[in-house]
Amino acid sequence: MDQQSLFLCLCFLFFVLVFLYIWLSTSKTTGKNLPPSPRKLPIIGNLHQVNQDPHISLRSLAKRYGPVMQLHFGSVPVLVVSSADAAKEIMKTHDLAFANRPNSSIWDGIFYNGKDVVFAPYSEYWRQVKSICVLQLLSNKRVRSFQIVREEEVALLVEKIKESGSKPVNLSELFYALLSNVVSRIALGRKYGITTEGGKDNSFKELFQNIAQLIGYFSVGDYIPWLFWVDSLNGLKGRVEKASTEVDVFLEGVIRDHSVALDNGASSDDLLYNLLEIQKQNTNSAFSIDKDSIKGVILNMFFDGTDTTSAVLEWTMAALIKHPDIMRKLQNEVRDIGRGKSTISGDDLENMHYLKAVIKESMRIYTPVPLLVAREAMQDVNVMGYDIKAGTQVLINAWAIATDPTLWDNPEEFIPERFLNNPVDYKGLHFEFIPFGAGRRGCPGIQYAMAINELALANLVHIFDFALPDGKRFEDLDMTAETGMTLHKKSPLLAIATSRV
């Protein structure tokens, strides 16, 4: 046997021994009652069974192995929850035990190493910054105080659509711009970023959509540490570094503008101004925030307030256009309540019950974040009779729960009426419908998101009739989704809007 053949044989033997060692070491029985699990491969575990649409592939696996199953992503145990009862145990019964976030090189790289709100580990720091965000931006009182901002920006949206005349408009772009402008004004004090439809450079939108994709990816190095180099080889590490650099340049400029104004005695009521004031006042206290903390929090508010919220509006309008009978029913309600008015105000929304049902049904079928942001067990805990060890990651498939035929009649059909005279709501108390999550790590921006989406949708259906361009039939509208943590339409929503007001 020549030296080359001997070398190849030794390499093969080495890898066989490595495979056997990892297989045996991760397959040891512990005597505990573990959740059912599909067979895993050496090294990669069950990663090969999760495709580019994880919420869909995980629902398929759950149909075979049950609503509580355990996978292994590399060497990391991952609990996948696909039932309302199990979600309730995670987010209510054992909420504190599962309040942590797992380590993620992607999240850390973009969101300042856990100094934000959404991806930060459970700690006193997280509790403090979440409290600041709720108090300064997301409480019911604060959301109501921003009504004039919402109404002004929706009025500008309406005017832009009217200017298009009989030409098709890109509603996806316009919705993203609307939410970007609203969150800019209330969080940063003025508009930053993108414009639409033949206007300025829209690289800002592209940056945030790129981030939405990145945070939905699996990093090989996070699950198989000794294969960390794969993230460099496949370009993931470079994309994360590029996105984080671009975000940091933007946020540095925003903070610099505010800091100069603050030093010159200016006063404002936006979130960033208040964060800078807290930073100045609390430098010697037990809790303090630095510049990275401010950047992380602002990035959260800007990203979540734009990306996921615009996705809900995009899917809801697409569903209405695809179902003209539902569109007419909604228009009848809104136009009856808004009779004699050129626009709908925030005060008109309270009695628009069908409008609220339409948005709920849209979030049920097109759950904005189908797999809620991952959690991690901080201690050993028993869930639905199964023993879950500390360090286990938890993925809650909110979309699978929202389309569970044992909970919903005709779950694949768009039927807003199911939410009329129905107490089920999205605020985290009904675990068959959790588009915003629940418990300590539930989204604190529910009221903000619903206020702007209800106002925008009501005005659009009040003022415009919609048709598809090029004579396309409503039923032919493409509803294919794009991969990422946030569920967006793969193709932009183009429509011809005819004004009736």
Binding residues for heme: 443
* Annotated binding residues: 443
Q: Are 204 and 307 in contact (CB under 8 A)?
A: no
CA 95/CA 89 separation, integer angstroms? 7
Pick the closest to residue 69 from 381, 408, 396, 439 (CA basis): 396
79 DSSP β-pair partners: 70, 394
DSSP string for residues in 211-248: HHHHTTSPPHHHHSGGGTHHHHHTTHHHHHHHHHHHHH
| CA 94 to mean position of chain CA atoms | 23
**Three-state SS at 468:** coil
Name the region of 410 (left: φ>0; alpha: ψ -120 to 50; beta: rest): left
Site of tokens 């994360």:
240
> CA-CA distances (angstroms) from residue 111 to 54, 116, 292, 464?
23, 6, 9, 39
Q: Are 441 and 472 in contact (CB under 8 A)?
A: no
CA 79/CA 87 separation, integer angstroms? 11
Q: Produce one character per residue of 220-244: b if its CB has 16 or more CB atoms within 10 Å, e if not.
A: bbbbbeeeeeebeeeebbebbeebb
DSSP string for residues in 157-187: HHHHHHHTTTS-EEHHHHHHHHHHHHHIIII
Pick the closest to residue 456 from 10, 21, 151 (CA basis): 151
Amino acid at 218: F
Site of tokens 């959790």:
434
Paired sense of beta strands 494-499 and 169-170, if any: antiparallel
Q: Produce one character per residue of 304-318: b if its CB has 16 or more CB atoms within 10 Å, e if not.
A: bbbbbbbbbbbbbbb
CA 480/CA 493 separation, integer angstroms? 11
CA 88/CA 397 separation, integer angstroms? 12
Amino acid at 158: V
CA 385/CA 36 separation, integer angstroms? 12
